[in-house]
Amino acid sequence: MTNLPDARGHFGPYGGRFVPEVLMAPLEELEAAYAEARVDPAFQAELADLLENYAGRPTPLYFAKRLSESLGGARIYLKREDLLHTGAHKINNCIGQALLAIRMGKRRIIAETGAGQHGVATASVCALFGLDCTVYMGEEDMRRQRLNVFRMRMLGAKVVGVTNGSRTLKDAISEAMRDWVTNVSTTHYLLGSALGAHPYPMMVRDFHQCIGKEARQQILAKEGRLPDTLIACVGGGSNAIGLFHAFLGDSGVRMIGAEAGGRSLKLGEHAARFDGGIPGVLQGTFSYLLQDDDGQIALTHSVSAGLDYASVGPEHAYLHDQKRVLYTSVSDADALAAAQRLSRTEGIIPALESSHAVAEAIKRAPSAKGEIFIVNLSGRGDKDTDIYRENLKELDASE
Amino acid sequence: MFERRKAEGKPALVAYLTAGDPSPAATAGLVAALERGGADLIELGVPFSDPVADGPVIQRGADRALKAGMTLSRVLDVAKEVRKNSQIPMLLFSYLNPMLRYGFAKLAKDAKAAGIDGVLMTDASVEEAQTYVDAMRAEGLDTVFLAAPTSTERRLELVAKYSSGFVYLVSRTGVTGEQESLSDPIGPLVASMRKYTQLPLAVGFGISKHEQFKSVGSMADGVVVGSALVRVVEQHGASPNLEAELEAFTRRLVDGGA
Output the tens digit of pLDDT for each of chain A's 399 residues.
778 999 999 999 999 999 999 999 999 999 999 999 999 999 999 999 999 999 999 999 999 999 999 999 999 999 999 999 999 999 999 999 999 999 999 999 999 999 899 999 999 999 999 999 999 999 989 998 888 999 999 999 999 999 987 888 999 999 999 999 999 999 999 999 999 999 999 999 999 999 999 999 999 999 999 999 999 999 999 999 999 999 999 999 999 999 999 999 999 999 999 999 999 999 999 999 999 999 999 999 999 999 999 999 999 999 999 999 999 999 999 999 999 999 999 999 999 999 999 999 999 999 999 999 999 999 999 999 989 999 988 888 765
Across the interface, whether the CB atoms of A18 and B125 are under 8 A apart is answered yes
> Which chain B residue's Cα is nearest to A296?
B49
Cα angle at A22 between B170 and B2, to 5 degrees? 25
Query: Quick check: B211 contacting A, CB < 8 Å?
Result: no
User: Which amino acid type is present at position A355?
Assistant: S
Distance from CA of B29 to the nearest CA of A (A): 24
Residues in chain B with CB shorter than 8 Å from the CB of A20 are 52-53, 122-123, 146, 148, 170
Q: What is the mean pLDDT of chain B?
A: 95
The nearest CA of chain B is from the CA of A290 a distance in Å of 11
Distance, CA of A37 to CA of B213 (rounded, Å): 45
Are the C-beta atoms of residues A283 and A292 closer than 8 Å to each other?
Answer: no
B49 touching chain A per CB within 8 A:
yes
CB A308 within 8 A of CB A302: yes
CA distance A255 to A248: 9
Active site residue A398: no
Angstroms from A126 CA to nearest CA on chain B: 24
Q: Among candidates B210, B178, B173, which has minimal Cα distance to B189?
A: B173
Nearest CB partner across the interface for A295, out of B98, B122, B152 = B98
Residue B42 has pLDDT above 70, yes or no: yes
Report d(CA B42, CA B93) in Å as an integer. 9
How buried is residue B93: exposed, middle or buried, by Cβ count under 10 Å (0-12/13-18/19+)? buried
- Residues of B within 8 A of A181 (CB-CB) are 52-53, 173-175
Closest CA to B94 of B50, B127, B153: B50
Q: Is A165 within 8 Å of B102 when comparing Cβ atoms?
A: no
Sign of the torsion angle spanned by Cα atoms B236, B238, B241, B242: positive
- Terminus-to-terminus CA distance in chain A, angstroms? 57
B163 and chain A: CB distance < 8 Å anywhere?
no
Q: Is B105 on the interface with A (CB under 8 A)?
A: no
Q: Which residue of A has its CA nearest to B70?
A: A294
Instruction: Find the residue in A nearest to B171 (Cα).
Output: A22
Q: Write the residue in A20, A164, A283 that is nearest to B146 by C-beta.
A: A20
Are B127 and A8 inside 8 Å of each other by CB? yes
In contact, A148 and A120? CB cutoff 8 Å: yes
Q: Could you read off the pLDDT of B106-165 as tens digits, one per residue?
A: 999 999 999 999 999 999 889 999 999 999 999 999 999 999 999 999 999 999 999 999
The pLDDT value recorded for residue A399 is: 55
Q: Among A344, A329, A343, which residue's Cα sits nearest to residue A380?
A: A343
Q: Which residues lie closer than 8 Å to B153 by C-beta, 6 or more apart? A: B192
The pLDDT of residue B258 is 61
Chain A residues close to B59, C-beta within 8 Å = 164
What sign does the dihedral A235-A256-A245-A351 (CA atoms) show?
A: positive
Cα–Cα distance for residue pair B226/B16, rounded to 1 Å? 4
Enumerate residues 6+ apart whose C-beta is below 8 A from A34. A100, A199, A203
**Catalytic entry in B35, B43, B110, B142:** B43
- Contact at CB, B49 and A296, closer than 8 angstroms: yes
Which residues on chain A place their C-beta less than 8 Å from a C-beta of chain B?
A: 8, 16-26, 28, 164-165, 170-171, 174, 177-178, 181-185, 278, 280-283, 289, 291, 293-297
Phi and psi of A91, rounded to 5°?
-60, -30
CB A148 within 8 A of CB A116: yes
| Contact present, B246 and B31 (Cβ < 8 Å) | no
Q: Bridge partners of A373?
A: A76, A229
Query: Residue B31 CA to chain centroid, in angstroms?
Result: 12
The Cα A113–Cα A135 span in angstroms is 7
Cα atoms in the Cβ-side hemisphere of radius 13 Å centred on B109: 5
Is A19 in Cβ contact with B125 (below 8 Å)? Answer: yes
Whether the ipTM is more than 0.90: the answer is yes
Active-site option among B21, B35, B40, B54: B54
For an interface test with A, give the residue of B48, B50, B184 to mutate (most A CBs within 10 A): B50
CB contact under 8 A, B122 and A291: no
Q: How many CB atoms lie within 10 A of CB A399?
A: 2
Whole-model pTM: value is 0.96
**Which residue on chain B is closest to A176 by alpha carbon?**
B52
Q: What are phi and psi of A155, to 5 degrees?
A: -80, 0
CA dist B172 and B8 (Å) reads 28
Which of A10, A19, A22 to mutate to probe the B interface, most B CBs <10 Å?
Answer: A22
Q: Does B59 touch chain A (CB under 8 A)?
A: yes
Q: Looking at the predicted structure, is the pLDDT value of residue B8 above 60?
A: yes
Residues 26-45 of B with CB under 8 A from A: none
Q: Which residue of A has its CA nearest to B100?
A: A280
For strands A14-18 and A10-11, give the pairing.
antiparallel
Active site residue A378: yes
pLDDT at residue A1 in the model: 73
Do residues B119 and B141 touch, judged by C-beta distance below 8 A? yes
Instruction: Give contacts of A283 with chain B, Cβ < 8 Å.
Output: 50, 52
Question: According to the 3-state scheme, what is the secondary structure of chain A?
Answer: CCCCCCCCCEECCEEEEECCHHHHHHHHHHHHHHHHHHCCHHHHHHHHHHHHHHHCCCCCEEECHHHHHHHCCCEEEEECHHHCHHHECHHHHHHHHHHHHHHCCCCEEEEEECCCHHHHHHHHHHHHHCCEEEEEEEHHHHHHCHHHHHHHHHCCCEEEEECCCCCCHHHHHHHHHHHHHHHCCCEEECCCCCCCCCCHHHHHHHHHHHHHHHHHHHHHHHHCCCCCEEEEECCCCHHHHHHHHHHCCCCCCEEEEEEEEECCCCCCCCECCCCCCEEEEECEEEEEECECCCCCECCCCCCCHHHCCCECCHHHHHHHHCCCEEEEEEEHHHHHHHHHHHHHHHCCCECHHHHHHHHHHHHHHHHCCCCEEEEECCEECHHHHHHHHHHCHHHCCCC
